[in-house]
Amino acid sequence: MPAFPVQLYQAWLLFLYTGLALRENILRVNGSDIRPWWVYHHYSAMIMALVSLTWEIKGKPDCAQKQRGVQLFLQWAMMQGVAMLLQNRYQRQRLYTRIALGKAKRMDVVWGETAGVARQLWLLCPILFILQGFEAYLGLSLLNTAFIGVISEWQVVSCGMLLVIMAVGNFMNTVKTLKIKSRFKAKMKRVKSKGDMD
């Protein structure tokens, strides 16, 4: 696998996550209710992309092992791209519904309600959990190769630790979000059934 396209992709990730972190900080300053984890996550991803840019992936005796790590990372990145597209579609449809109901404007951040898109969560959630599991596997694989001495460069250890931290944080925040949505939906059903009785 040629090194230049991989490094170009890492540079693009650095640009993307820098932009996301800046955008979310601006939204938080303007009063948006974005969980702090997502800002930390984007800073961690930014650091990982920067570290990955310094990791030489060709021209050494252990190149085959590095190439395998790069292939796993790119597979994970493709899965992440699919998940991002699904999340984008889910959030756009939620925002469209909220705008149609007069509960939101075009620039609002979608949060809280589950208005009519529960079926999409059945598709999105398993993909997110699989992605988070693969992210943890990739991080643990990198740490394993570093600790058994196959590739002991600092970039491998750094990226491995960041991937594991991000996988655990993403999992915890996804579960927290699902619990909040479940409670909100149950509360809305109680309010609706109470209103129907009156």
The ranges assigned to domains in the chain are 59-197
CA distance 17 to 40: 11
Q: Which amino acid is at 160?
A: G
Nearest Cα to Cα of residue 77 among 18, 124, 40, 131: 131
Of residues 152 and 47, the one with the higher pLDDT is 47
CA distance 157 to 151: 9
Is 184 in contact with 114 (CB distance < 8 Å)? yes
Per-residue pLDDT, averaged over 38-44, amounts to 90
Is 58 in contact with 70 (CB distance < 8 Å)? no
Is 73 in contact with 138 (CB distance < 8 Å)? yes
Which parts of the chain fold into alpha helices (H)?
Answer: 3-29, 36-53, 63-100, 118-147, 154-197
Of residues 87 and 66, the one with the higher pLDDT is 87
What does residue 178 show for φ and ψ, rounded to 5 degrees? -65, -40
Model pLDDT, residue 62: 56
The mean pLDDT value of the chain amounts to 81
Q: How far apart are the first and last CA of the chain?
A: 67
Nearest Cα to Cα of residue 164 among 138, 131, 146: 138
Is 40 in contact with 162 (CB distance < 8 Å)? no
Model pLDDT, residue 3: 73
Model pLDDT, residue 72: 80
Q: What is the DSSP letter of 107?
A: T
Model pLDDT, residue 58: 62
Model pLDDT, residue 60: 58
Which range has the top average pLDDT, 63-72, 101-110, 112-121, 171-180?
Answer: 171-180
Per-residue pLDDT, averaged over 49-77, amounts to 74
- Angstrom CA distances, 59 to 2, 5, 63, 138, 151, stand at 11, 16, 6, 23, 14
- Angstrom CA distances, 11 to 73, 94, 122, stand at 15, 32, 33
User: What does R_g of the chain's alpha carbons equal in angstroms?
Assistant: 20
